[in-house]
Chain A
Amino acid sequence: MSQSPIAAQPSQSQPSQAKDPFSPNVEDLYLESYAFTTAAAIVGSVDRKVFVLLRDGRNLFGILRTFDQFANLVLQDVVERIYLNDEENSPTKFGETYRGVFMVRGENVVMLGELDIDKEDDHLENLKQISFEEAEKELKIVHEKTIKEEGIKGKKLLSKGLINDFVKSDLY
C-alpha cells in the first residue's frame, strides 16, 4: 500500500473550502480514531478493486466503496467468479457472472485483498471459461463431496477422542 493509515498526521490548517475547485464545500469522512484498528486497515483499499472471500466459499471481485468497524462492506460492479480445480487441486476452469452492488455483512468475510488491475486477469488466461450455471453445478458437487468427507473424518477422529470442527456453511 502506498500509505500507512496508522501514521498519525497532524491536522493541517487548510481551510477546507478554499483550494479545491471541485468540492462544493463538502467534507470527506475521515478516521477519527483507530480504536477499531483491524477494520481500519481496510481504509487504504477504498475505491479500489478488491477481491473478497466469503465463508461460503464465494469469490467476489469488485470496487470497495465503504466499510465499517464490523467490516461490513459495500462493493460496486461486483463479479462473482467460481474456480474449479482438477484432481491435483490446481484451477482449470472458471465461470463468472455480474452481480452489481453488494453489501456484505462483515462476519461472513474470510479475507479481502486489493487487486492490481493490470495483472488481475493474467491467471485467467490459462483457465477455461465455462458458463456460470455449469460452474455452479460442479461447485455444488464439490461442496457435497467435501461435506461428506468431513463427516467421515469427524467420525474417525471422534472414535479416537478428538473433535473435528466443521460447519456445513463454512466452505472456504
Chain B
Amino acid sequence: MLPLYLLTSAKSKEILIELKNGESLNGELVNCDSWMNLTLKNVIQTSPNGEEFVKIPEIYIRGNHIKYLRLPEEVMDYAKEQNMINMEQRNRNQKRRGGNDQRNYNNNNNYSGRQGGSGRERGGNGGHYRNDQNRNGGGNRRYNNNNNNN
C-alpha cells in the first residue's frame, strides 16, 4: 500500500505535521489529496523554536511544504485491515470477470514476480511485503507484525 493511501486511512485521526521551515502542527486530519495537501482541524501550531503556540480551528496545508508527518500507531493496523478488505473485493471482482487476469506472485525468494509490462501507465506501486506471511531465507530479517524483533 502506498504512503498516500496510508495517509487517507488516517483521516479523522490526530496527526503531527512538521513543515520544512520547522513549524509543527498538531491536529485532526480532515482531508488529504494526492499532492499531500491537507486540511486539519483543532490545530495547535508550534513555532520552529518550540516556544510560541497558536490555536487554529481549521487550516489548509500545501503538500510541498511538508517535511514529515507522525501518525498514531493504530493507523498501521487499521490501514492493513483496509488494504486486505480492498484486496479481497478486488479478487472477487476479478473472479467474476472471468479470472483470466490472475496475477501470479512468486513469494519463494521474498520477492514478488513481475508481470509483463502493461503497467507503464500506472504510477508505480511501492513494493510492499505483507507482514503476516512467513518468510524463509537465511539472514533476512523481515519484520512481521506477529514476531516482534527488537
Name A's B-contacting residues (CB within 8 A): 2-3, 5, 8-16, 20, 22-36, 39-40, 42-44, 46-49, 54, 56, 63, 65-69, 72-74, 76, 99-105, 107-108, 117, 169
Contact = CB atoms under 8 A, between A and B. Distances in A.
Given A8-B114, A29-B1, A100 B72 contact: yes
Contacts of B124: 31-36, 39-40, 68-69
Interface string B39-77: 000000000000000000000000110111111110110
Interface of B: 1-4, 6-7, 20-22, 36, 63-64, 66-73, 75-76, 84, 87-88, 91, 102-107, 109-120, 122-134, 137, 139-144, 149
A101 B70 contact: yes
Q: Classify the interface of chain A: helix, strand, loop or mixed.
A: loop
Nearest to A14: B104
B-side binding surface: helix, strand, loop or mixed? loop
Contact of A49 (B128, B133, B143, B144): B143
Contacts, number: 196
Nearest to B66: A105
B89 to A, nearest CB: 11
Nearest to A116: B141
B141 A103 contact: no
Nearest to A10: B113
Nearest to A52: B68
Given A3-B110, A76-B73, A102-B71, 13 more contacts: A2-B139, A11-B104, A23-B133, A27-B105, A30-B125, A47-B131, A47-B143, A56-B22, A66-B2, A68-B123, A100-B72, A101-B71, A108-B68
